[in-house]
Amino acid sequence: MDNSSVNKILIIRLSSLGDILLTSPVLKAIKKKYPSARIDFVVKKDFEDAILFNPNLTRIYAYNKNETERLITELHSRNYDLIIDLQNNFRSRALTRSLNVKTKRFKKPTIKKMLLVWFKINLLRELKTITQRYAEAANVLLDDEGLNLFLPDNILPTLDPQKKNIGFCPGAKHFTKRWLPEYFVELGNELAKFGYTVVLFGGKTEEELCAELANKINGSMNLQTGNNLFQIAADMKLCKMIVTNDSGLMHTAAAVGIPVTVIFGSTVREFGFAPYGVKNLILENKSLSCRPCSHIGKSSCPKGHFNCMKEIKPQFVLNNVEKFLAEL
């Protein structure tokens, strides 16, 4: 297809926060390849803020599984020249099938992931990121920049920029991706001794967790919000570093250019979700034959010991964080 004949492009990535933030370099590359094209995006309403102010997009459509027919009718009227399906599941395929437009799809390395999880056969040693796989699907070239999250002008940080702020993101959707709360507490109190202010970030599901940690970490600030992504991002910008689990907020920190230390439990970097485009330190227990036990995380440790997280001790993290901070 000649680039000049592509005037309207539809991109589909319905969820989740991290996956959508990882599309931002690809959106930029698509706009560069098709500079005069209209680029629209379909996303679940809960994750709309991740792309809401992206200058490379013309319109955002909120996906609701109960209103699929209405959405299809509206999209059909737009007469798209090209669809780039970065979700590639039964819901995104239902949309593309009804529109009958040339479609490029994200190729998930599903078989390779299954081989690594179930048989520990690693065919993902190339460490290709999800963003790189998105770019391959869209047939575009990435630049050397990282992720982007565009904030509205009226969002102001609440943190004092004169303080030595270090952010903690102790939450994650799945249990096996969460470092132990008591370990976050111990690490936070050690950092406080060196004059750092620990700032707790989280969405509405982390309300109790962040409150508990705030009560136990000396001098900490609890900035857990009701999923106010823009406020979280604005305050992350005033942190020297973020210590986080493998989560959407890890990618949020990367999207605003803040170095991250990430603790990997049941998942591994081979799945492609390492911090993209920022200085980062990944800490993981490589001595376990049971890792990874899942490509997304589990509600409990299948072996019952949870050593992928329990054996990553606070002192080990502190030592590595100190070295990492000295290099920044």
Whether 133 and 170 share a structural domain: no
Average pLDDT, stretch 110-117?
96
Q: Does residue 147 sit within a domain? A: no
Segments forming the whole domain that contains residue 99: 3-138
Position 118, amino acid = W
Report the CATH number at residue 127. Answer: 3.40.50.2000
Q: What is the pLDDT of residues 41-91, one digit of tens each?
A: 999 999 999 999 999 999 999 999 999 999 999 999 999 999 999 999 999
Whether 132 and 192 share a structural domain: no
Note whether 101 and 81 are within 8 A (CB): yes
SS3 145: coil
Whether 231 and 300 share a structural domain: yes
pLDDT band at 5 (very low <50, low <70, confident <90, very high): confident
Query: Which of 110, 34, 102, 40 shows the shortest CA–CA distance to 71?
Result: 40
Average pLDDT, stretch 37-44?
98
Q: Does residue 283 sit within a domain? A: yes
Whether 196 and 316 share a structural domain: yes
Q: What are the backbone angles phi and psi of residue 8, rounded to the nearest 5°? A: -135, 125
Whether 60 and 95 share a structural domain: yes
Residue with tokens 């081989």: 115
Whether 123 and 214 share a structural domain: no
Instruction: Show the tokens assigned to 21.
Output: 């933030």
Query: Which of 55, 58, 57 shows the shortest CA–CA distance to 150?
Result: 55
Q: Does residue 151 sit within a domain? A: no
Whether 227 and 312 share a structural domain: yes
Whether 254 and 120 share a structural domain: no
CA–CA dist 115, 97 (Å, integer): 30
Please state the pTM of the whole predicted model.
Answer: 0.96
Count of domains observed in the chain: 2
The percent helix, strand, coil of the chain (3-state, each to 5) is: 40, 15, 45
Whether 116 and 232 share a structural domain: no
Axis-axis angle for helices 181-193, 314-327 (nearest 10) = 50
Whether 81 and 194 share a structural domain: no
Q: Does residue 154 sit within a domain? A: no
Whether 211 and 115 share a structural domain: no
